[in-house]
Structure 1
């Protein structure tokens, strides 16, 4: 029989050493019962000298110790070590017992933290009287260290279990890329009070990196669950990382974070494009071999083939690519009168008729550029390297960008947002940041149309909550009977989030006629702006009286180097590039390039709507690149007015024919 007293001393010493650190338990209640049986059955044959009445190591005292301390473990150097590890290595009997217990406990999963309301388990010695002699019995025993004792065992273990679950979910769900992105945003000063959160993000990132390299990942989670960063996933900065990890758009994710922590008038100082994002984008570009294709610029007339120009002004011909051969037009008559046409009612001509029957014989064209045409200002763009692989779904490298770096009109944005644009009468609101503007319309009988009553006419209400858009719209459409009378239109700032790109544009449509009214001043928190009063007779807008600060088509203003509310000479007429040559992809646009029209702002040359099919999987990368690779302004660019074939609109043109005849034409789109 081995030396049981030495075995007890070894176990006690081992437990005391372990108790200096944190203790954990493995398995469950049934495993504790099995451990006791393992203890009794692990003695080598012939060494278990059990007494029928009592013994030292198979008594109730030792059983209490084994069941309560036997499944206790420590985590050292990333490994789980039991209370039986290395015990009685020199004793041939109890070293076998300790090894069996160590193996059994080591096979059980970690289940929680060790906490107890008891002071000790087991008793060092007991005494009994036998045949008139006092016998001393030695037993397994151990003290519960002060840091492991508590009167509320259940809540203490429950709190630890909850932390482990939060920590594990954070490690599983929060990606390294998302953590890197948030650190970059903080370092770039692109997050509200981001520096306060940097330590939490970097600490969790460090833990996650170590977890991915850990030999025993579960042990790592338990060993580090007391770290404050273990609950990172449930913090406000953790929700930002969670959103990014789930694929939420960066802009929307950050806006959601800012609504929780930033004041309503907070304006982010820098753009949400980080060095890490650019690096990741460049990796994709290298893999696709399209680096040169991303270098964009404003297109010049000399870039455009003669085959893709529908009409060109005589003074512009010499600058065209391929010269003037092949143009289906006659030389302009010299000495044509430049006198202004008298006011007259223009003749309405469908655009296809204008292109077929009038344009080929035109010597000069002047377009009436109204303030309402501001959303129609457009620029043609192209690649810097003509031989680079094509990015777009049509067979050329040209693209286009409307004013405000969008690809289509307010009406098209309303359509994309699910709004109705086919009714008899429409009032739409468009703005250019993440504010929550609300459109209010009061009908002649006092009926109030607004976001709290969207059952009938208001069908789009954007930026009330996430996801937020920087191209939001709201829309009111009348599809049924429209009452005659005066309609009052207002815009209210329900929640101000941005200080940049303030103001808004109201678009009205009635009987196929679209008008715009712009408000260029930022709308303050809870401020209400009276847009104007609209008179409707016979279901048609007959008059519109703009409110204070609203600009309509009456007062000219300088836009892109030209003055509105007057005739401006046209240099070139062409289709949009998706209809160049034999292409017929998507909606066709009609471009009237204007003399002296120069977009002086960096302009996007890449839009996700343009991308060819095999690049759609990289849309997020291209969204970043499109904003990062804008075309720099140039003086010889092709810019002017553009009109979509899918949107009813009109523009007045003063046309001088080659024979000297002058015509005032309202081109109907």
Structure 2
């Protein structure tokens, strides 16, 4: 019949060994009933004789043990092992019983952690009186280890089940790429207090790698569910990984993270690129052989082919040809309103380029303060033979003042704003700050991001991705009330100290004016931009606030003084229209004598990049910012105007025959 007492001893030892670690339960209550039947039915024929009315091993004490301890398992080296594993190997009868029990429990799914209020299940022995004699019966029995006893098993089992679910969802939903990206941001110190999450990120990534290799993934989850790192998905850093895993772009995902953890005046120390992104971009750069192409500089006139220069002044002409007269004329026009206020003839730019420019002996252009955003520089590569970076078939680019590629109006247009209304007020700034434009109509109606009134149509750096070329835009497409308008700018969220200040652009009746703040806007500060008077849907007056510089104030910029005529040395199209290229918008570039950008200029813009480099836009954004062209005296800089905007500039043109014309070039 087998040595049952040895079987009991072996089970007791096995349970004692298992209880030193965490115990889990497989199956449910029905499975526990089935396990008891398996126990009774697994005895080989003739080894479990009838004793009185019952089988020898059919007793309530053993049944209590089997039901409560029989489906308890441990997880050892990533695999499930039952209380019956390897029991009574020396006894053929109970080896069969133990093997059957082990096999049955091994088919059951893990269902939870083992907890109990009881101190033990079963009893070592019981006694009964039979025919006047006391008989001693041995039973399956075992104590519940102290670590597995609790007053509220349901609560602890519930907490464990919740931890398993969180871990499982984290393993399923948090992608390796997203985890790598966030780990890279932490290593690069690009997350606010990111170092605090380094250990959790490292441990979760390690757990995920082990899970991928685990022979029994469910067992691995149960064995590690109570590890603090397993709850990463439900932590604040986990929400960032979730967003990236769900396909949200890096910058808005990080912004959402920073909203939760960072103070309002937090300034991110580094750009949002990761080592993995850099590695991928450098692989592409290496494969295309364009590393030398990334080295940029200001362009000189000698760099530009004669076929791409539309007009050049006669430098070989003696500078004394109109010596005294030229000096006197320049003195007479400098700051002299009479010369500026003379009624110029309006000429479309295409007519000017076709009919007037070829016969011009000299050109002087009136540079107004409002033209500051039109200051532009031509750039090129340091290595002429390096492969091209851009969409067109040359290595030239251009960069407007403030390191932008186009005007405020064009930026508003690209951002989806309306630039064709009767009246427009636009705000442009140069960093990741969240500035807000506020306009008060004559009747007190407040136009701002909470009350857009169908007039505020662009609100950037407030949500989603950040840009260092942000704009906000208010346009009146319908009736424009007459009266006085008040304009303010509020700093809603200061993030950076670089790129300080902003520009306000107004437009009515085809006239564009600019007003500029040249200092940083403090946290929650409101700046009084000014008050404008509108009559007949046209701006008739603008009184700027105390800290703003009006566009008609003479000032030094880029080596020239505004509100006067400045000689033009060269006229050309933008490089995307050199030779036979016609890519994107055409810009008209008027290179001015003595005009020199005194600040490093971007030589690379994402808008310029050829298509096979677009996938690495974020890396090239940083490259463009960190590989700027250093100022040189003999650069090609001046004023630029896009073909997509309505604007004008006054030029004094001396024709070859000596005739002088005052022309308002209309773009």
Relative to the length of structure 2, the TM-score reads 0.91
Bigger mean CA offset, 380-389 vs 14-23: 380-389
- What is the RMSD computed on CA atoms of the aligned residues? 2.7
Q: 2:488 — aligned with what?
A: 490
Written as runs of structure 1 = structure 2, the 5 A alignment for 1:251-330 is 251-315=251-315
Written as runs of structure 1 = structure 2, the 5 A alignment for 1:465-504 is 465-504=463-502
TM-aligned CA distance change 1:57 to 1:421, over 3 Å: farther
Q: 1:649 — aligned with what?
A: 647
Shift of 1:551: 0.9
Distance, in Å, in 2 between the alignment partners of 1:524 and 1:112 is 55
Structure 1 residue 37 and structure 2 residue 37: aligned? yes
Q: 1:359 — aligned with what?
A: 357
TM-aligned CA distance change 1:430 to 1:131, over 3 Å: same
Aligned with 2:595 (options 597, 605, 608): 597
TM-aligned CA distance change 1:157 to 1:569, over 3 Å: farther
TM-aligned CA distance change 1:453 to 1:66, over 3 Å: same
Q: 2:553 — aligned with what?
A: 555
Q: 1:390 — aligned with what?
A: 388
Structure 1 residue 162 and structure 2 residue 162: aligned? yes
Written as runs of structure 1 = structure 2, the 5 A alignment for 1:521-600 is 521-600=519-598
Bigger mean CA offset, 151-160 vs 189-198: 189-198
Bigger mean CA offset, 225-234 vs 189-198: 189-198
Query: For this pair of structures, how many residues does the alignment match?
Result: 656
Relative to the length of structure 1, the TM-score reads 0.91
Aligned with 1:612 (options 607, 610, 620): 610
Distance, in Å, in 2 between the alignment partners of 1:504 and 1:151 is 65
Distance, in Å, in 1 between the alignment partners of 2:138 and 2:625 is 79
Shift of 1:108: 3.0
Shift of 1:92: 1.4
Q: 2:95 — aligned with what?
A: 95
Any unmatched runs of 5+ in structure 1? Answer: 318-329
Distance, in Å, in 2 between the alignment partners of 1:202 and 1:34 is 43
Distance, in Å, in 2 between the alignment partners of 1:408 and 1:235 is 42
Q: 2:60 — aligned with what?
A: 60
Shift of 1:94: 1.6
Structure 1 residue 72 and structure 2 residue 72: aligned? yes
TM-aligned CA distance change 1:4 to 1:551, over 3 Å: same
Distance, in Å, in 1 between the alignment partners of 2:40 and 2:256 is 61
TM-aligned CA distance change 1:31 to 1:379, over 3 Å: farther
CA contact (8 A) 2:48 2:57 kept: no
SS in 1 for 2:14: helix
Q: 1:457 — aligned with what?
A: 455
TM-aligned CA distance change 1:639 to 1:140, over 3 Å: farther
Q: 2:336 — aligned with what?
A: none
Q: 1:193 — aligned with what?
A: 193
Shift of 1:180: 4.4
Bigger mean CA offset, 232-241 vs 503-512: 232-241
Bigger mean CA offset, 473-482 vs 489-498: 489-498
SS in 2 for 1:487: strand
Shift of 1:647: 1.0
Aligned with 1:443 (options 441, 444, 453): 441
Q: Deviations over 1:558-613 (max 9, x none)?
A: 33333333322222211122222222222111112223333344433333322333
Shift of 1:508: 0.7
CA contact (8 A) 1:314 1:332 kept: no
